Structure 1
Amino acid sequence: MDLQALSSPLYSARGWLKFIGVMFIINGVLTALSVVGIIFAWVPIWLGILLFQIAGASEQAYLTQSEGEFLKSQTKLKTYFTITGVLMLIGLVFMFLFLGLGGIAAISQLASGSKGF
């Protein structure tokens, strides 16, 4: 098994992984500055750290051809996508919930015959 060839795609994207990781960490820090945001600020910071770990492990796997580092990079990538997927599902649930509540409020407003918004 040629680990250098297998780890090449992530190795070549390591700069972007680190850049996006920094952006996530900055986003988390800025989110933590608000009262409500401090509750959720750890999520983007965690994602940013994961991206840095993916970049580092893929670089080590490429340079040293270490199966352990390659597996570590793949495991971290799986964790990143799992967290992102769960957050997307939660976001969709809230979106449909708020759209539904907004639709009910609009229908209620129309049914009552009020003309003011």
Structure 2
Amino acid sequence: MEEKELIQEISLPIYQSKGWMKLLGVILIINGIAAVFTLVGILICWLPIWLGILLFKSANLIESAQLNGDKPMLLESLRKIKTYFVINGVLMLIMLIIIAITILMTGGAIFSMMNSF
């Protein structure tokens, strides 16, 4: 099997989902733009915009990789997808830590209130 055909075969599953990647990318960009108008959102609005751009660029790169059998484009697309998931994973871990701290603080406050009666 020629390298071009191999690249096209390997990139096919991601290529088939490029429409969903672009849709999610646009939604994330719009979400980031909307976050600019909130007080807290000004601080973090760049994250969804960045994630949206990563997905959109990855979808465009995978399309070129699929059509041309271009290995560097496939690798760059996969790098962008990797970055997207790493950022999302870090954000999820931060969110879980914040939730755990909130639960502990709320539980402590409730316990403290119960002891005062």
* TM norm structure 1: 0.94
Residues 79-116 of structure 1: per-residue CA shift (max 9 Å, x gap): 00000000000000000000100000000011111xxx
Specify the alignment match of 1:48 in structure 2: 52
Structure 1 gaps of 5+ residues are none
Equivalent AA in structure 2 for residue 28 of structure 1: G
| Partners of 2:116 and 2:34 in 1: CA distance | 43
Residues 33-64 of structure 1: per-residue CA shift (max 9 Å, x gap): 01221100000000000000110110010001
| Partners of 2:41 and 2:71 in 1: CA distance | 39
How many residues are paired up?
A: 113
Q: Return structure 1 stretches of 4+ with deviation > 3 angstroms.
A: none
| Partners of 1:84 and 1:12 in 2: CA distance | 22
> What are the within-5 Å matches in structure 2 for residues 1-117 of structure 1?
1=3, 2-113=6-117
Aligned CA-pair RMSD: 0.7
* TM norm structure 2: 0.94
Structure 2 gaps of 5+ residues are none
